[in-house]
Structure 1
């Protein structure tokens, strides 16, 4: 009991967005502390399990593993910037080692989340909504561990013994346990819409993902995957229930609004990791960094609080990925928020462009990084000049390499809204979208095409495309390759690409500065520390 109590007290100092947790720091009697925790507000017990998700989905953790190892992104070394011990180059080339910093830290964040969710399950009353949420959150952490590392430390959800070693679940056992737990939690989860709490639709979304990828998780190194019709029928059933629930609707006006600072309870979002912009660091490791780290130094933007900030010229996308797009006609590719040409506009009208930032960029006129505001509260828009290194213009070319020619090369990605408190802060009000309705349509289309079961894959793909670009944007036929590409257009920079490339048999392909074909790299190495201290963990093949 002592071990369990100490861990829970540490766990409860976390803060979960709208719920602050306070406990008496002077608890010294173990029995009294146990009673206090049993009587604690259920949200206080549940909060840390939600809060840990922010770390897992942080910009250098699961995001980096899913994005910078895939064909949609890289972080080039730009002169002396962004070498970072080779971490980003290793992710991109697929030659990471067990000691890799971000694969190690991601594992640490996942296992912290597993512990927090397990403790919440143990203390919360069985059969309550809060315990069902904790079981669903545990299942989500288990899914991330399985997807990225192929091994899941697990203590069960009843009669939990915190002094015993965890089980280590792999393959079919891990899949079936996640499914069983989610199905157990489902009846006690709420049926309505709440984008920052686990609902029945969120649990069904996770179930659909697990069934869609089951063939991969149960035969990780197969030369090709055999998707069972029974699994694909489950995907069809679950996604249909979500689509027909009418709790959610596809965004038809502004695709990028899904990723804006006020995106909580957006009509398309099913579940997101809650962030909150506040003087307390509770929105940290945010998706805002996924955008600001990719903007050119000198590409000055205005935060919602009116502060002028600059980018840091890190991440960009690859020509291989861009070449799959109909960039002239797809509204998801680029949204201009002011004329991309010289001129003068009201200061209040300036918002960073969204989507892919290609070619010569225009932005606020400045003097050595200091913006110039005219007396009439207008600003001059001019070609952006980089204010570091060689003072060249920010002309972002498609061609890029891991050792970048200069600070400018590489098309930048500005998908997630910018909502900083200040320079080098992670706080944001942009919730990290995990499940949204468009994914349900595209998962259902994929399951239909993989199985030949009843359904209309073309209608599902077109439901998404018409929502984005109108009737003229619809396709006349659809194949699995079309679904793969459509997922790229729809979910770029959203933590999907690595998983998608593996499932579609694209992971061993070559793209810019990546030629590795080793199927062992479909999952990451178990870090040395946990490997040495956790009974049952074994190193994954190839490491």
Structure 2
């Protein structure tokens, strides 16, 4: 089991057997009692911790929605007045009008608490094994580190953590400084027992994974300690960020990718920029939907799959696009910055072979070129030498066959048609999936090397060292050399660094956390005017509060809800 744990192959049926352990923990915890006959006990214990994280947490409609659609980066209107309405859960989230009944809150909460419980179950199973099994020692450290990661997600979103070492015990709830200290202590305790990313790959928690997570927690610790106040970024916290980012850098295990979009390719598992990711390779039954979520429903990126179209989901806002324009002025951001867009497909009528057919990546604007067929499921049109016809993509909802044209303006009223808004195709459409559409096999990036430099830059900047911060940011910009390199920045301040994080990490589950830390979350932007700082934390789902009501005062709703 040195390189990977084959979660889906070993445990696809086991995961169906989860059930609650007792009445008091119904809404918080689950217990795993798998049959391990014929399976190594240590592997059987750790595998469920990692299994199905893509669907339970890092799904496009769950954690992505919470972290991106609650911000100035992504907006998901009622398309055509009907599509993506979903009871207003996306529009309410975007406007910061979410309530404890919002389904996204419930999905995030349930997914994260389920995996906290799985981690505790793994810890209980691995502790006795670790006395005689060296591999169980490693897995035990991983289980504790993953419990800390899941608790970090809970703290970031809801302002609390659950502390429990035995699956049959009642969890203790911590908030504020106590919660921060608990997570940090857990990560520090297990770091020495973990293996390296070189040894096990980015799909398991490793030494540099824990170091990167510690840096992220220290960077946000001021917010977590006082979620509604003005953050006090202490020198001690910033020194810790610098310490742990330096450790990741000095490990020599990771490298920046010369081609930015290779970080999100179908075969990105071996990309050295990944520090920790949700493993989605084909033999692990990968199933993420990040590729098709945003793009046009009239767009078909794979010749092999005439049903593999987009869903006309979220678009970037005009506000976020304007940050690119402001940064580069008269130069088109696609020409100035390799992270904005990568041309792969001809953007004119023509013919392309199946072997050469690859759609563009990044941010899509204006007219769209792609394969042609009369309706979904029909074979695509062919031309000379059995190549595929490429031409303007037609809007099938148009009575006169107008081409799809992605406009800049998108909102909840007049600009909410299926074509409105610039789109994002950051993760590659899977070329090995059996459906092409909803089984993307690119690993979902959680921690990556560029963030190490940008976190260190921020810590240096908050300590007054703008020169070192500028050097780190420019180091990342200069590393993207595969096509063209973004020009070096000449100055650095918090606003520029915040903008740079948007360019580097758009569509990567980070924007809400960044906006809060940089004091931008209460700003007004497209369709959003709510400036209530209590919306920094999400509402605890009403179902969880109700489920815990048998214990008076146990689970208290966050302020403002």
Both structures adopt the same fold (TM-score exceeding 0.5):
yes
Per-residue deviation, residues 401-427 of structure 1 (Å, max 9, x unmatched): 123342211001010111274669632
- Quote the Cα distance in structure 2 between the aligned partners of 1:166 and 1:35: 26
- Quote the Cα distance in structure 2 between the aligned partners of 1:34 and 1:401: 48
Alignment partner, residue 53 of structure 1: 53
Match runs of 1:430-469 below 5 Å? 430-452=442-464, 456-468=468-480
Alignment partner, residue 392 of structure 1: 402
- Quote the Cα distance in structure 1 between the aligned partners of 2:34 and 2:208: 34
Alignment partner, residue 10 of structure 1: none
Per-residue deviation, residues 340-376 of structure 1 (Å, max 9, x unmatched): 1122222321112100000111111222343212361
Alignment partner, residue 497 of structure 2: 483
Alignment partner, residue 252 of structure 2: 246
Aligned: 1:513 with 2:492: no
Q: How many residues align?
A: 512
Q: 1:16 aligns with which of 1, 4, 7?
A: 7
SS in 1 for 2:173: strand
Contact 1:15 1:48 in 2 (8 A): no
Alignment partner, residue 217 of structure 1: 224
Alignment partner, residue 191 of structure 1: 196
Match runs of 1:356-367 below 5 Å? 356-367=363-374
Per-residue deviation, residues 282-316 of structure 1 (Å, max 9, x unmatched): 423x1xx233121112112216x555521111111
- Quote the Cα distance in structure 2 between the aligned partners of 1:228 and 1:520: 23
Name stretches of at least 5 consecutive residues in structure 1 with no aligned partner.
1-13, 27-32
Deviation for aligned residue 1:338: 1.7
Alignment partner, residue 299 of structure 1: 299
Alignment partner, residue 68 of structure 2: 67
Q: 1:283 aligns with which of 273, 286, 289?
A: 286
SS in 1 for 2:248: helix
SS in 2 for 1:264: helix
- Quote the Cα distance in structure 2 between the aligned partners of 1:152 and 1:389: 50
SS in 2 for 1:291: coil
Alignment partner, residue 27 of structure 2: none
Deviation for aligned residue 1:272: 0.4
Task: Calculate the aligned-residue CA RMSD, in Å.
Answer: 2.5
SS in 2 for 1:301: coil
- Quote the Cα distance in structure 1 between the aligned partners of 2:421 and 2:345: 22
Contact 1:52 1:112 in 2 (8 A): no
Aligned: 1:138 with 2:147: yes
SS in 1 for 2:276: strand
Deviation for aligned residue 1:42: 1.0
Name stretches of at least 5 consecutive residues in structure 2 with no aligned partner.
18-32, 131-135
Alignment partner, residue 408 of structure 1: 419
SS in 1 for 2:352: strand
Per-residue deviation, residues 251-275 of structure 1 (Å, max 9, x unmatched): 11x1101001101121111110111
- Quote the Cα distance in structure 2 between the aligned partners of 1:494 and 1:488: 10
- Quote the Cα distance in structure 1 between the aligned partners of 2:12 and 2:368: 45
- Quote the Cα distance in structure 2 between the aligned partners of 1:405 and 1:453: 44
- Quote the Cα distance in structure 2 between the aligned partners of 1:208 and 1:437: 12
- Quote the Cα distance in structure 2 between the aligned partners of 1:216 and 1:416: 30
Match runs of 1:112-123 below 5 Å? 112-123=114-125
Contact 1:299 1:386 in 2 (8 A): no
